[in-house]
Chains A and B, each alone.
Chain A
Amino acid sequence: MMSDPILPSAAPAHAGAAPQEQAVKVRVRDVTVSYDGAMAIDSVNIDIPDKSVMAIIGPSGCGKSTFLRCLNRMNDTISGCSVTGDIRIDEEDVTARNVNPVMLRARVGMVFQEPNPFPKTVFENVAYGPKIHGLAATRAELEDIVETSLRRAGLWDEVKDGLHKPGTSLSGGQQQRLVIARAIAINPEIILMDEPCSALDPIATARIEELIDELRQNYCIVIVTHSMSQAARISQNTAFFDRGKLIETGTTEQIFTNPRDRRTHDYITGRYG
């Protein structure tokens, strides 16, 4: 466009938006995992920012879930699994031998694909963690934690009149929110989610997504998902894994509008395989 030949016009200045600084919550360096000698993930390096959602995407068998399980040392429980490399949460090495995995898992909560409430009441499901970690001195404190956690998980209004019914009597979507309430009841810093919506219908999925978006104000969330549209909807950063390698990581906007790596591009646009 040209300026009017009669009226002088001011050219608009292009202001480049500076990227927001995000504090790093988890720093992963050279992490390699193998099962009985077969490499599952290969020298992964990634920084996971605090108070935001990072989505891990990639085809089946690419190492997404294995990576997630490294973060709270769930791989320790699998025989034949070896993990090398350095994982730091707030600069503290969590792979060190002297770190108690049970205490680590109190800091790093996890939500799985299938809702897995304990065969106990709704109340007991949420109260279980705070009880064993000694987070409540009195019954009143415990009740308070249960209510706050259920409210944060967006479930309180639906279950407040049936706190002593079995957790398994809830619907799938409610059970998944119950599990999330259980995870946040022990005040974790990080919440790992492994395909938390794959067993839910679209309405229940939308409620969980809304919940994840609220939770990110207070937690660092890492979510493995097969749904790329879900990754695009709820995450601020996305990491793409393929055949055990971290191919690309960036802001979700960048990954879904202009991925740098051809393999990422082919995967998210449906040209894979």
Chain B
Amino acid sequence: MPSHTLKAFTSELNALTSDVLRMGGMAEAMITDMATAFARGDSELARSVIQRDAEVNALETRLEREITRLLALRQPVAQDLRGIIAALKVSNDLERIGDLAKNVCKRLIAMGEEHGATGQKSVERMSRAVRLQLNTVLDAYATQNAQEAIDVWQHDEEIDEHYNSMFREVLTYMMEDPRKISQGAHLLFIAKNLERIGDHCTNIAEVVHFFVTGEDMPMARPKLSDLE
């Protein structure tokens, strides 16, 4: 795309995109470390994830301020406007993803010694799946690739399947052994948090699609039927 006649505006828009991507990189690293902390039972790593959430929040606040300034001073239209709104919405979803990763780490620390074999593999599998979703959707945002956004959007079903099977699995443990109820409850919240991270990735996919094409997603996303 040609540069704006007013070149400062082009560089401001580029700076906005790189800030969003930096925020995305931070959220992605939080999910990776969260999964590692869970696999190893590493509460030190979990604490570092919790601390990093503040940086993501601070970056979101800074982006919001910059976006307000751009809207007031540049009065963007068309793809510029869609790009700025996309940055605002994506940064909001990334901030929520950071919060959810932080919450998983808090639960991990709370579970302490109880943390162990039960459900561990499932959490790891689900973490890998959501990290891949986030990675792909950030790539779609960076390269303005609508098709990639559609792919992410459609893949959310997989995360939902992970969640449903983990829900059943944990429920079974809890019914079998009441001593596992407290651990099971934490695991269920962890699974729900991961599922919510997946939802934020699909939100971002929708925003990216609108940013690039100016249109909503072309079809209805396949949905899992409710758990029986």
- Chain A residues with CB under 8 Å of chain B are 1-9, 11, 14, 228-229, 232, 256-259, 265-266, 268-273
For the complex, give the distance between the alpha carbons of A228 and B78 in Å. Answer: 12
Determine if A269 and B199 form an interchain contact, defined as CB atoms under 8 angstroms apart: no
Chain B, interface size category, equals: 20 to 34
Task: Give chain A residues whose Cβ lies under 8 Å from the Cβ of B53.
Answer: none
For the complex, give the distance between the alpha carbons of A232 and B2 in Å. Answer: 23
Min CB–CB distance B118 → chain A (angstroms)? 19
Determine if A265 and B223 form an interchain contact, defined as CB atoms under 8 angstroms apart: no
For the complex, give the distance between the alpha carbons of A258 and B76 in Å. Answer: 12
Interchain CB contact (< 8 A) of A257 among B5, B82, B160, B195: B82
Query: B11-35, CB under 8 A of A: which get 1 and which 0?
Result: 0000000000000000000000000
Please list the 7 inter-chain residue pairs (A to B) with the smallest Cβ-Cβ separation, ordered nearest first.
A258-B214, A5-B227, A2-B160, A1-B199, A256-B77, A271-B2, A8-B226
For the complex, give the distance between the alpha carbons of A229 and B226 in Å. Answer: 48
Task: Give chain B residues whose Cβ lies under 8 Å from the Cβ of A14.
Answer: 220
Task: Give chain B residues whose Cβ lies under 8 Å from the Cβ of A271.
Answer: 1-5
Given A2-B199, A5-B167, A6-B227, the answer on whether A270 and B4 have CB atoms closer than 8 Å is yes
Task: Give chain A residues whose Cβ lies under 8 Å from the Cβ of B223.
Answer: 2-3, 11
Cβ-based interface call for B38 (8 A): no
Determine if B4 and A2 form an interchain contact, defined as CB atoms under 8 angstroms apart: no
Cβ-based interface call for B48 (8 A): no
Cβ-based interface call for B111 (8 A): no
Instruction: List residues 98-136 of chain B with CB under 8 A from any CB of chain A.
Output: none
Min CB–CB distance B22 → chain A (angstroms)? 25
For the complex, give the distance between the alpha carbons of A229 and B74 in Å. Answer: 11
How many residue pairs bridge A and B at CB < 8 Å? 62
For the complex, give the distance between the alpha carbons of A70 and B174 in Å. Answer: 81
Given A2-B163, A271-B1, the answer on whether A256 and B227 have CB atoms closer than 8 Å is no
Cβ-based interface call for B59 (8 A): no
Task: Give chain B residues whose Cβ lies under 8 Å from the Cβ of A265.
Answer: 78-79
For the complex, give the distance between the alpha carbons of A11 and B224 in Å. Answer: 12
Query: Which of B4, B78, B163, B224 has the most CB atoms of chain A within a 10 A radius of its CB?
Result: B78
Task: Give chain A residues whose Cβ lies under 8 Å from the Cβ of B5.
Answer: 270-273
For the complex, give the distance between the alpha carbons of A270 and B215 in Å. Answer: 22
Determine if A270 and B9 form an interchain contact, defined as CB atoms under 8 angstroms apart: yes
Cβ-based interface call for B202 (8 A): yes
Query: B148-170, CB under 8 A of A: which get 1 and which 0?
Result: 00000000100010011001000
Given A6-B227, A11-B223, A258-B215, the answer on whether A270 and B6 have CB atoms closer than 8 Å is yes
Determine if A2 and B78 form an interchain contact, defined as CB atoms under 8 angstroms apart: no
The residue in chain B whose Cβ has the minimal distance to the Cβ of A8 is B226
Determine if B77 and A268 form an interchain contact, defined as CB atoms under 8 angstroms apart: yes
The residue in chain A whose Cβ has the minimal distance to the Cβ of B164 is A5
Task: Give chain B residues whose Cβ lies under 8 Å from the Cβ of A232.
Answer: 77
Determine if A257 and B77 form an interchain contact, defined as CB atoms under 8 angstroms apart: yes
The residue in chain B whose Cβ has the minimal distance to the Cβ of A260 is B214
Can you report 9 A-B residue pairs in the complex whose CB atoms are below 8 A from each other?
Answer: A3-B224, A3-B226, A5-B226, A6-B227, A256-B77, A259-B78, A269-B4, A269-B79, A271-B2
Task: Give chain B residues whose Cβ lies under 8 Å from the Cβ of A229.
Answer: 75
Task: Give chain B residues whose Cβ lies under 8 Å from the Cβ of A268.
Answer: 77-78
Task: Give chain B residues whose Cβ lies under 8 Å from the Cβ of A269.
Answer: 4, 76-80
Query: Which of A5, A11, A14, A228 has the most CB atoms of chain B within a 10 A radius of its CB?
Result: A5
Min CB–CB distance A77 → chain B (angstroms)? 36
For the complex, give the distance between the alpha carbons of A259 and B81 in Å. Answer: 12
